[in-house]
Amino acid sequence: MPHNKGHNQSKKKGKIKGSHSKQPASSNPSRQGPSLLPPNAFAPKTPDDSTTVSSGYHAMYKEATLRFHNWMSQKACPKSKMTAVNDYRKGVDLIANHNMSVYLNKNDEKVENLIVTPPEIMASLASSIRLREKVTASLFGSKSGGDLGHQYIIDVLHYCRSTLRFGNRIAAIYQESMGEKVADAIGGRFSALTLDDDDEEEELEWDDIDQAIREGNLPKYTGVEVEEEMDISEILLKGDDRLQAMFLLYTMNDSMAAVHMHYKHFKSYLRGNSKFQGSSCMHLLMKCAVVANAATESVHQAENELGINHPHLASFYHVLVLVFMTEIMAEVEKFIDKNWLKKTPHMVLQFLAEIVESSFHYPGQTRIPSIVKRFIAKSGLDPMYVEETAQATYTLISYETTLKVEERLNPGQTAHLAGCGLDPHSWLNFSEFIGGDCCLLNTKKLVQRQWIFYKTIRNLMDGRDFGDSRSTKTRILLGAFGAISTKPLYQVSYRIFLKFADVCLFKTCRSGHI
In a domain, 291, yes or no: no
The per-residue pLDDT for 139 is 62
| Range among 54-68, 81-95, 292-306 with highest mean pLDDT value | 81-95
Considering the domain architecture, whether residues 68 and 127 belong to the same structural domain is answered as yes
Choice among 51-55, 416-420, 434-438 with the minimum mean pLDDT? 51-55
Choice among 10-14, 138-142, 347-351 with the minimum mean pLDDT? 10-14
Confidence of residue 110 (pLDDT cuts 50, 70, 90): low
In a domain, 45, yes or no: yes
| Range among 68-72, 241-245, 260-264, 274-278 with highest mean pLDDT value | 68-72
The per-residue pLDDT for 512 is 42
Domain count, the chain: 3
What pLDDT digit, counting tens, does each position of 284-293 carry? 889 999 999 9
Crossing angle of helices 326-333/316-324, nearest 10°? Answer: 80
The per-residue pLDDT for 237 is 86
Considering the domain architecture, whether residues 375 and 456 belong to the same structural domain is answered as no
The per-residue pLDDT for 398 is 84
In a domain, 186, yes or no: yes
Considering the domain architecture, whether residues 46 and 149 belong to the same structural domain is answered as yes
Q: pLDDT at residue 73 above 90? A: yes
> What is the mean predicted confidence (pLDDT) over 238-243?
85
> What is the mean predicted confidence (pLDDT) over 435-460?
71
In a domain, 439, yes or no: no
pTM: predicted TM-score of the whole model, two decimal places: 0.71
Q: pLDDT at residue 207 above 90? A: no
Distance CA 102, CA 174 (A): 9
Considering the domain architecture, whether residues 454 and 364 belong to the same structural domain is answered as no
Considering the domain architecture, whether residues 362 and 225 belong to the same structural domain is answered as no
Show Cβ contacts of residue 386 under 8 Å, excluding neighbours closer than 6 positions.
372, 375, 376, 379
Choice among 98-107, 376-385, 398-407, 470-479 with the minimum mean pLDDT? 470-479
Of 204, 237, 270, the one marking the end of a domain is 237
The per-residue pLDDT for 94 is 96
Choice among 275-284, 436-445, 459-468 with the minimum mean pLDDT? 459-468
Q: What is the mean pLDDT of the chain?
A: 76
> What is the mean predicted confidence (pLDDT) over 464-484?
45
Q: pLDDT at residue 402 above 70? A: yes
The per-residue pLDDT for 208 is 87
The per-residue pLDDT for 268 is 86
Domain that holds residue 501: 450-511
Q: Exposed (0-12), middle (13-18) or buried (19+): which is 240, by Cβ within 10 Å?
A: buried
Higher confidence at residue 185 or residue 359?
359
The per-residue pLDDT for 48 is 40
In a domain, 481, yes or no: yes
Q: In a 3-state reduction of DSSP, which class is residue 438?
A: helix
Choice among 25-29, 219-223, 454-458, 493-497 with the minimum mean pLDDT? 25-29
| Range among 111-120, 302-311, 450-459 with highest mean pLDDT value | 302-311
> What is the mean predicted confidence (pLDDT) over 192-200?
46
The per-residue pLDDT for 274 is 66
Distance CA 15, CA 442 (A): 48
In a domain, 295, yes or no: no
Kindly state the percentage of the chain with pLDDT values over 90. Answer: 35
Phi, psi dihedrals of residue 346, rounded to the nearest 5°:
-110, 25
The per-residue pLDDT for 334 is 94
Q: Exposed (0-12), middle (13-18) or buried (19+): which is 330, by Cβ within 10 Å?
A: exposed
The per-residue pLDDT for 359 is 87
Considering the domain architecture, whether residues 379 and 455 belong to the same structural domain is answered as no
Considering the domain architecture, whether residues 341 and 233 belong to the same structural domain is answered as no
CB neighbourhood size of 385 (10 A): 13
What pLDDT digit, counting tens, does each position of 265-289 carry? 888 888 887 676 677 888 888 999 9
> What is the mean predicted confidence (pLDDT) over 3-15?
42
The per-residue pLDDT for 43 is 39
> What is the mean predicted confidence (pLDDT) over 51-60?
69
Are the beta carbons of 254 and 45 closer than 8 angstroms?
Answer: yes
| Dihedral angle over CA of 457, 461, 463, 465, nearest 10 | -100
Distance CA 122, CA 133 (A): 16
Higher confidence at residue 26 or residue 402?
402
Q: pLDDT at residue 41 above 90? A: no
Considering the domain architecture, whether residues 360 and 477 belong to the same structural domain is answered as no
Of 338, 369, 400, the one marking the end of a domain is 400
Choice among 125-139, 248-262, 334-348, 433-447 with the minimum mean pLDDT? 433-447
In a domain, 256, yes or no: no
Considering the domain architecture, whether residues 456 and 391 belong to the same structural domain is answered as no
Considering the domain architecture, whether residues 127 and 44 belong to the same structural domain is answered as yes
The DSSP result for 191-226, as a single string, is GG--SSSS-TT--B-HHHHHHHHHHTPPP---S-EE
Higher confidence at residue 260 or residue 27?
260
Q: pLDDT at residue 483 above 60? A: no
The per-residue pLDDT for 412 is 79
The per-residue pLDDT for 175 is 78
The per-residue pLDDT for 54 is 54
Distance CA 257, CA 273 (A): 21
Of 400, 433, 466, the one marking the end of a domain is 400
Considering the domain architecture, whether residues 168 and 71 belong to the same structural domain is answered as yes
| Range among 32-41, 261-270, 338-347, 448-457 with highest mean pLDDT value | 338-347
Confidence of residue 473 (pLDDT cuts 50, 70, 90): very low
Considering the domain architecture, whether residues 207 and 100 belong to the same structural domain is answered as yes
In a domain, 65, yes or no: yes
> What is the mean predicted confidence (pLDDT) over 9-30?
38
Distance CA 25, CA 441 (A): 32
